[in-house]
Structure 1
C-alpha cells in the first residue's frame, strides 16, 4: 500500500507492506530391480526381485511486515524512516520474530543559497543507522533424526531400519542482528568532469548464527548457536573522470576502491582457565580481538635440507616448523595467529577510449592482502612410502629434492611427526577485460539497409601478476585445481 503527496515545499512518500510465503517439498521414489519379464516391470514394480522405496519432505514459512515514510523539504532535506518485522519458522518457538528499524538522512548542500563554490556542481551529505537480520536454515533449532539400515537379525535375516539423533536442537536459537551506521558524500565537480562518492561504515553484529564445534565424546560434531559479537568497518570510494572530451577523441576512467576489516569482540564470555581473559574457541577457529577469518597454525620457515640439525620426528624434505615457545620441541603450543583470509583492500580501474569510430576499453582488477592478509592454504607435499613408490607429478609442482633445495613444496622419504599447513598471500593484479570495437559509419550502413554494423574483438583474463603458486589466486586454486580460462572472441553485431 503506497501513498504520496506534495504540500508546497513538502513531499511525503509512505509505504506499508505485508507478505507471507510458504515452501513445501515432497518426494517419493519407488525402484525395482530384477524382472522376469521386463514388459510388465514398468507398471508392476512388485514383480521385481529387489524393491526400494525412498521419500523426503520439508516445509518452511516466512512472514514479514514493513512500514516506511520518506519526507523531503525544499528538495534538499531528506529523511526516511523504516520499521520491518520478520518471522521465520526455522528459529526456536519463542524467537521466531525480530524487529529491524532504520533511519536515513540526506542534505543536498549544493542547493543551499549560501553555497557559492563555482567548481562544485553537486554535493550531497548523507548518513544512516539501521538494524538488519540474518536468518538460519530450516529446522536448525530442532533436534533431527536420521534413519538408516542398522541391524540384521540372524543368518539370512532382513535388514532393520534404525533411528538416531543426528543433530542437537537449540531452544534459544534466534535472529542474528547487525546494527550499523554509514556516512557518505556524493559529488560532481569541475563542470561534471568528475563524479563520485565517498562512504564510511561501521557495524556491530551480535548473536551470530554459527555451528559451534563440540567434543566428539558428546556424539555430535556441532550445534547451531548464537555466538558473540563482531565489529566490522570499511571505506568505499568511487570516481568517474572524463579525462578528455573532444569531437574526435574521448577518454573516460572509472575507479573503485574499498577496504574492510572485522574483529571478534566477544564469544561466550567464559574464562575456564581462570586467567582473567575470555577464552578463544580454537576448535572453531575463533579468537578474541582477531578477524573471523583468522589463520591459526604453525610458522613454517622453509624445508629441512641434508646436513641440517633436524629434530626428532622430522626428516630432510619436510617443512621446517619454527619453535615459537623455545622449548626445543615442536608441539601444538607452537601454533600462532599467522594472519587472516580477508584482503586489506580491493580496487578496479576501467578505461574507455573513443577515437572517431573506434572504441577501446580495458579493465584492471586487483585484490591486495597487505601485511599477513588474503592468505590461503598452499602446502602440497609428497612422502615416498610403500604406497607411493613413484613420484609423477606435473612440472608446475616445484617439489624438494637434494638437487632442488630451493623448492616451494616439501617432499621426503618419511612422514614428519607434524605436517603443517603452509599459507600464501593471494594478492594479485589482473588485466581482466580488453575490448576493441569499430562502428561502421552511416554512409556504409545505409547502403546495405542496416542501422548499425559493429566489429568487435575482446579478451578476458589476459594477464595476472601474483606471487601465488597455483592457477588462480582469487579462487585460491592450486595446481591441483583448475586455471582461470583465458578467452578471446571476435564478432560482428548487426542492427536492422
Structure 2
C-alpha cells in the first residue's frame, strides 16, 4: 500500500482585531486563537520490499542418507510476505493561544498537543519462529498516544533609568504505549504496553550481602556466583530466585518529561546583567560501567568509587572490588543502584557588560565600545552525581568556561 492520503486543516482567529474587542485593547492589545488537526505519514523506517517475501539459498539445509551424512543445499523462507505493508501514521491535534497584555509588556504563548500514532512498523513477537521464517516478522501494528503542553512567556519593562526582563519556557510531554506486538507476559510489571515508551526497567537493589549466612537465607541470584559484598536484589514474584521475571519499571525514561528555561536581565544606563537557566525534570539515567565499576576496560579507579564494600565498611555505596569480570555479572545488572533521577537546574550562561556612552568614545573615532565578562555552565544543581546529566554516556566532566572581551564599532 504505497500511496497514502494525509489531509490537514488549520485555522486562526485574531480576536483582538474584532470591533467588539475595542474596549479591551488597553488591557489585552493582542489575542489570537489557533488550532490545527490532521494526519501525517512516515515511511522512512518501513522496509521497501517486505510485502513480497523472499526465499534465500542456503548450504547444508537438508540432511539425509543412511547415516544422515549427506547434506544438501536448498532454499529457506528468509522473509515472510506481508501484503498489508503500509505507512506509519499519526493524527495530530494542536490548540494554542498567543496574547500580549499590559501595554505589550507581557507576551504569552500556550499550546496543547495530542499525537496519536498508529500503524507503526514493529516486530510482531506473537508470530512464532516455528513458522519457518529467519527474519523477524514486522507489521503495522504499533500504537502510541502522547500529549503535552508548551508554554512561553516574557515580561519587559522599564523604571526610570532601569530596564529589566524576565522570561521562561516550559514544556511537558508524556506518552503511553498502546500496542507493540509484544508477547503475553506472566506478570503485569513485565508488560511494556500501558507504560511510557523508553521507561527504565531493572531490579530493586536491597544493599549488599554482608555474610555467607545472608546469602544462604536469600533467594538464589542467577547471574553469577555471589559472595559477601555483592549486590542483593528483591525477589518480586516470590519464586525463590532472581531472574528476568523480577525486573520492574524504575524511575523515568532517558528523555525528560519536563524541560524548562528561565531568562533574566537587568540594565542600568550602560550596565547590564543577563542570565539563562536551563532545567529538566522527570528523567532518569543509568550510570555507565566506567562510572560504576572500577578498572573498567583496563581503566582506573575514580575517587567516588573508593567507597566500596569491605567487611569493615558494610555501609558502602559500591559493591566489593574484584578483578574478575565474570564475578561482576551479578553486580552489573541494571538496578536502582545504577539508575538515578537526573533532574537538574543549570546556570547555563551569565554575562555582565558595559556599553560606553557615544559621547565618551567619539573622541577616539568609535561608534560603539562594549566590555563584557561571561561564563558558561557555571553551576549545576542535581542529584545525578559524577557525570553531566545532559550527557550521561560521556565520562568526561562538563567544561566550565569563562571569558572576557570587548567589541568595537567603527
Query: What's 1:20 paired with?
Result: none
Superposed displacement of residue 145, structure 1: 12
SS at match of 1:485: coil
Superposed displacement of residue 260, structure 1: 0.2
CA offsets per residue over residues 99-142 of structure 1, 9 Å max, x none?
22111111222223333334111111111101222231596545
d(CA) in 2 for partners of 1:455, 1:406: 53
Superposed displacement of residue 245, structure 1: 0.3
2:262 alignment partner, one of 345, 349, 353:
349
| TM-score, normalised by the number of residues in structure 1 | 0.65
Contact kept? 1:436, 1:458, Cα under 8 Å: yes
Query: What's 2:376 paired with?
Result: 460
Count of aligned pairs between the two proteins: 367
2:10 aligned with 1:101: no
Relative to structure 1, the CA distance from residue 127 to residue 382 in structure 2 (aligned partners, 3 Å threshold; closer, same or farther) is closer
Superposed displacement of residue 223, structure 1: 5.9
Relative to structure 1, the CA distance from residue 272 to residue 260 in structure 2 (aligned partners, 3 Å threshold; closer, same or farther) is closer
1:123 alignment partner, one of 26, 31, 37:
31
1:294 alignment partner, one of 199, 202, 206:
199
SS at match of 2:387: coil
1:337 alignment partner, one of 242, 249, 256:
249
Contact kept? 2:45, 2:121, Cα under 8 Å: no
SS at match of 1:492: strand
Query: What's 1:14 paired with?
Result: none
SS at match of 1:484: coil
Contact kept? 1:368, 1:428, Cα under 8 Å: yes
d(CA) in 2 for partners of 1:400, 1:379: 17
Contact kept? 1:316, 1:412, Cα under 8 Å: no
Unaligned runs of 5+ in 1: 1-93, 147-163
Contact kept? 2:353, 2:373, Cα under 8 Å: yes
1:305 alignment partner, one of 210, 228, 249:
210
Query: What's 2:305 paired with?
Result: 397
SS at match of 1:289: coil
d(CA) in 2 for partners of 1:383, 1:435: 39
1:266 alignment partner, one of 162, 179, 185:
179
Superposed displacement of residue 173, structure 1: 3.9
Contact kept? 1:204, 1:232, Cα under 8 Å: yes
Higher relative CO (Cα under 8 Å, sequence separation at least 6) belongs to 2
Superposed displacement of residue 226, structure 1: 3.0
Query: What's 2:106 paired with?
Result: 194
d(CA) in 1 for partners of 2:404, 2:133: 59
Contact kept? 1:315, 1:416, Cα under 8 Å: no
Q: RMSD value over aligned CA atoms? A: 3.6
Relative to structure 1, the CA distance from residue 114 to residue 424 in structure 2 (aligned partners, 3 Å threshold; closer, same or farther) is same
d(CA) in 2 for partners of 1:219, 1:187: 58
1:438 alignment partner, one of 351, 354, 365:
354
SS at match of 1:446: helix
Relative to structure 1, the CA distance from residue 332 to residue 139 in structure 2 (aligned partners, 3 Å threshold; closer, same or farther) is closer
Relative to structure 1, the CA distance from residue 419 to residue 494 in structure 2 (aligned partners, 3 Å threshold; closer, same or farther) is closer
2:287 aligned with 1:378: yes
Alignment of 1:473-492 (within 5 A): 473-477=389-393, 481-492=395-406
Relative to structure 1, the CA distance from residue 192 to residue 382 in structure 2 (aligned partners, 3 Å threshold; closer, same or farther) is closer
| TM-score, normalised by the number of residues in structure 2 | 0.78
d(CA) in 2 for partners of 1:308, 1:250: 70
d(CA) in 1 for partners of 2:276, 2:266: 12
Contact kept? 1:169, 1:224, Cα under 8 Å: no
d(CA) in 1 for partners of 2:266, 2:152: 19
Higher percent of residues as strand: 1
Relative to structure 1, the CA distance from residue 417 to residue 190 in structure 2 (aligned partners, 3 Å threshold; closer, same or farther) is closer
Contact kept? 2:176, 2:196, Cα under 8 Å: yes
Contact kept? 2:46, 2:87, Cα under 8 Å: no
CA offsets per residue over residues 284-314 of structure 1, 9 Å max, x none?
xx71111111222211222333477123543
CA offsets per residue over residues 117-171 of structure 1, 9 Å max, x none?
341111111111012222315965458999xxxxxxxxxxxxxxxxx99x85865
Relative to structure 1, the CA distance from residue 415 to residue 169 in structure 2 (aligned partners, 3 Å threshold; closer, same or farther) is same
Contact kept? 1:440, 1:454, Cα under 8 Å: yes
SS at match of 1:396: helix
Compare 334-343 and 483-492 and name the one that shifted more.
334-343
Query: What's 1:90 paired with?
Result: none
Relative to structure 1, the CA distance from residue 168 to residue 446 in structure 2 (aligned partners, 3 Å threshold; closer, same or farther) is farther
Relative to structure 1, the CA distance from residue 447 to residue 424 in structure 2 (aligned partners, 3 Å threshold; closer, same or farther) is same
